[in-house]
């Protein structure tokens, strides 16, 4: 049986795909926002002098990095209500993705924190800044600039991971593509267009991030 | 008048489906890792030593696969292969998708490792009359393997996590079996935790095994 490509049905539903793509990006943004905050706390905990605190943060990172994201997503949506925490599909997905990404971001930030030269802290102390000021005004900005590339690739990874929201029927790009696939039977066309959208978005994001990095680059 | 069964009773009742699921998960992962390593190594060689045309094709393949979410690869493989008349089971289509995913990662890892090896070694090997195959077998391959072992172990754990996505196309691996058990027992919370624990154990074992091999190799 010959198969002739016919993209008409996919183009008719293209706006759905675009809305899905938009939702994917929004989910990734929220997830990396929450994930960064949590990851930063975890990184400070892991590099802190308090042994139990460092161990606890280390445990979180090891645990979350070795769990499949889909298990977290399903757990967050189906099991948390049993604990009395009822979230919408979108929020429970963002929660799962944020908890997951925090484990990776904690490692990124930890590496960044360890890379900040010790002299900076001493210099801050010498000019009379408090520990809090040193952390906020000196260490964080230096560290953030150093980890920007890793942060960028984490974001792109999260954007791709938003496809798992389809498993709990969040109408993001993969969910919409699957719907078009099932409704129109234009199987090959649907998946070519959907993965094309993902690949294109990832490339655009990567190019954007490179530009931001170039602008913030430290001249050495 | 019987008391309701405890969670442990329920786990005992569901032991066979869960164990079969775990076995399927391990089988999927092993097949995908094996296939992905073979294709990925060739891909890495093509990316490093191929002529212009080969490099462009290999780069396009790698970038396309890496820009597409794994779930989209799985769904596309499952739906498209049937449409073009290749009658593969969900298991086979899923393993194929994961193999493709794995190969793109191994390809990049191999390329990265090969590129860090000094050029002089290839030239020296050529000078003493080794063919390219011999150069790779005796000079470049072993060093590249040692360099790429840590990220390869990571990819292995990544594949175990990605195998959960096959539940979406109906492959009865651990996660789908867990969901089936939950739909009978309504105990979503403990059974998702159990599944998480099992996945964690498998990945933790992989990580430990990887470290052991690493230490052996560096001691040698």
pLDDT in tens, A122-133: 999 999 999 889
Nearest to A27 by CA among A140, A200, A147, A168: A168
**Could you give the CA distance from residue A180 to residue A189 in angstroms, rounded to a whole number?**
10
Torsion of CA B90, B93, B97, B100, to 10 degrees: 150
**Mutation site for A-interface testing, chosen from B79, B85, B170, B177 by largest number of A Cβ within 10 Å:** B79
Torsion of CA A58, A88, B191, A161, to 10 degrees: -60
Question: B119 is written with which tokens?
Answer: 């050029």
Question: Given a cut of 70, is residue A218 above it in pLDDT?
Answer: no
B62 CB near a chain A CB, below 8 Å? no
Q: Which of B71, B83, B195 has the CB atom closest to A71's CB atom?
A: B195
More confident residue, B48 or A216: B48
- Label residues A63-72 b or e (16+ Cβ within 10 Å = b): ebbbbbbbbb
Q: How confident is the model at residue B124 (pLDDT cuts 50, 70, 90)?
A: very high
Question: Given a cut of 80, is residue A137 above it in pLDDT?
Answer: yes
Question: Would you say B88 and B82 are in contact if contact means Cβ atoms under 8 Å apart?
Answer: yes
| DSSP code string of B95-128 | HHHHHHHHHHHHHHHHHHHHHHS-HHHHHHHHHT
pLDDT in tens, A83-97: 989 899 999 999 999
More confident residue, B5 or A96: A96
User: Is B1 in a helix, a strand, or coil?
Assistant: coil
Q: Is the dihedral of CA B3, B6, B9, B14 positive or negative?
A: positive
Would you call B76 and A191 a contact, using CB atoms and an 8 Å cutoff?
A: yes
Q: Which residue of A has its CA nearest to B194?
A: A71
Name every chain A residue with its beta carbon within 8 A of the beta carbon of B167: 70
Q: Is the dihedral of CA A163, B102, B166, A84 positive or negative?
A: negative
Q: How confident is the model at residue B13 (pLDDT cuts 50, 70, 90)?
A: confident
Nearest to B208 by CA among B146, B159, B174, B157: B157
In angstroms, what is the C-alpha Rg of chain A?
A: 21
Would you call A69 and B161 a contact, using CB atoms and an 8 Å cutoff?
A: yes
Name every chain B residue with its beta carbon within 8 A of the beta carbon of A79: 188-189, 192-193
Q: What pLDDT does residue A78 have?
A: 94
Would you call B68 and A1 a contact, using CB atoms and an 8 Å cutoff?
A: no
B26 CB near a chain A CB, below 8 Å? no
Mean pLDDT of all residues in B211-217: 87
Question: Would you say A148 and A216 are in contact if contact means Cβ atoms under 8 Å apart?
Answer: yes
Question: Would you say A108 and A39 are in contact if contact means Cβ atoms under 8 Å apart?
Answer: yes
Mean pLDDT of all residues in B161-182: 96
Task: Name the region of B51 (left: φ>0; alpha: ψ -120 to 50; beta: rest).
Answer: beta
Q: What pLDDT does residue B220 have?
A: 61
Q: What pLDDT does residue B84 have?
A: 84
Cα B122 to chain centroid, rounded: 30
Length reported for chain B:
220
Q: What pLDDT does residue B103 have?
A: 97
Nearest to B193 by CA among A12, A78, A33: A78
Question: Given a cut of 60, is residue A101 above it in pLDDT?
Answer: yes
Question: Given a cut of 70, is residue A2 above it in pLDDT?
Answer: no
Q: What pLDDT does residue A1 have?
A: 52
Question: Given a cut of 90, is residue B5 above it in pLDDT?
Answer: no
Report the mean per-residue pLDDT for chain B.
93
Would you call B161 and A203 a contact, using CB atoms and an 8 Å cutoff?
A: no
Distance from CA of A25 to the nearest CA of B (A): 13
**Could you give the CA distance from residue B8 to residue B14 in angstroms, rounded to a whole number?**
10
Ranges of H-type helices in chain B: 7-13, 15-49, 52-67, 70-83, 90-116, 119-127, 132-134, 141-162, 174-185, 188-219
- Label residues B121-146 b or e (16+ Cβ within 10 Å = b): ebeebeeeebeeeebbeebbbeebee
Q: Which residue of A has its CA nearest to B169?
A: A167
| DSSP code string of A8-37 | HHHHHTHHHHHHHHHHHHHHHHHHHHHHHH
B207 CB near a chain A CB, below 8 Å? yes
Q: What pLDDT does residue A4 have?
A: 81
Question: Would you say B153 and B207 are in contact if contact means Cβ atoms under 8 Å apart?
Answer: yes
Mean pLDDT of all residues in A36-60: 95
Nearest to B203 by CA among B14, B38, B16, B25: B25
Q: Is the dihedral of CA B184, B189, B191, B192 positive or negative?
A: positive
Q: Is the dihedral of CA B97, B88, B166, B212 positive or negative?
A: negative
Whole-complex ipTM? 0.91
Question: Given a cut of 90, is residue B216 above it in pLDDT?
Answer: no
Report the mean per-residue pLDDT for chain A.
93
**Mutation site for A-interface testing, chosen from B61, B160, B192 by largest number of A Cβ within 10 Å:** B192
Chain A residues touching chain B at CB-CB below 8 Å: 1, 3, 62-63, 66-72, 74-75, 78-79, 82-83, 160-164, 166-167, 174, 177-178, 181, 187-188, 190-191, 194-195, 198-200, 202-203
Q: How confident is the model at residue B86 (pLDDT cuts 50, 70, 90)?
A: confident
């Amino acid at each position: 049986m010959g198969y002739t490509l016919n993209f008409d049905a996919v183009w008719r539903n293209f706006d759905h795909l675009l809305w899905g793509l938009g939702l994917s990006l929004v989910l990734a943004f929220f997830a990396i926002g929450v994930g960064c905050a949590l990851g930063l706390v975890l990184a400070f905990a892991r590099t802190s002098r308090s042994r139990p605190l460092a161990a606890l943060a280390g445990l979180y990172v090891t645990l979350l990095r070795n769990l499949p994201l889909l298990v977290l997503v399903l757990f967050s949506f189906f099991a948390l209500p049993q604990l009395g925490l009822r979230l919408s599909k979108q929020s429970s997905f963002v929660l799962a993705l944020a908890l997951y990404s925090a484990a990776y971001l904690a490692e990124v930030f930890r590496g960044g924190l360890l890379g900040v030269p010790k002299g900076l802290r001493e210099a801050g102390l010498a000019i009379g800044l408090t520990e809090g000021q040193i952390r906020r005004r000196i260490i964080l900005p230096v560290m953030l600039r150093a980890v920007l590339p890793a942060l960028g690739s984490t974001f792109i990874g999260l954007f791709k991971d938003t496809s798992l929201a389809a498993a709990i029927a969040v109408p993001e790009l993969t969910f919409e593509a699957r719907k078009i696939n099932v409704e129109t039977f234009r199987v090959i066309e649907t998946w070519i267009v959907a993965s094309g959208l993902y690949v294109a978005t990832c490339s655009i994001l990567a190019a954007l991030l490179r530009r931001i990095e170039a602008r913030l680059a430290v001249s050495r | 008048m019987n008391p309701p069964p405890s969670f442990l009773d329920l786990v005992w009742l569901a032991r066979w489906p869960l164990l079969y699921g775990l076995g399927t998960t391990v089988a999927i992962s092993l097949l995908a890792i094996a296939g992905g390593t073979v294709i990925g190594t060739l891909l890495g060689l093509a990316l490093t030593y191929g002529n212009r045309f080969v490099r462009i094709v290999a780069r396009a393949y790698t970038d396309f696969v890496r820009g597409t979410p794994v779930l989209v690869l799985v769904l596309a493989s499952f739906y498209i292969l049937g449409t073009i008349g290749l009658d593969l089971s969900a298991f086979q289509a899923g393993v194929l998708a994961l193999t493709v995913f794995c190969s793109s990662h191994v390809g990049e890892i191999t390329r990265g490792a090969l590129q860090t090896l000094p050029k002089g070694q290839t030239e020296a090997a050529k000078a003493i009359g080794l063919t390219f195959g011999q150069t790779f077998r005796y000079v470049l391959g072993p060093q590249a393997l040692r360099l790429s072992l840590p990220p390869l172990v990571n990819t292995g754990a990544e594949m175990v996590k990605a195998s959960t996505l096959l539940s979406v196309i109906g492959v009865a691996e651990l996660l789908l079996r867990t969901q089936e058990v939950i739909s009978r027992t309504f105990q979503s919370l403990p059974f998702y935790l159990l599944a998480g624990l099992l996945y964690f154990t498998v990945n933790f074992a992989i990580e430990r095994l990887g470290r052991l091999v690493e230490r052996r190799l560096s001691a040698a």
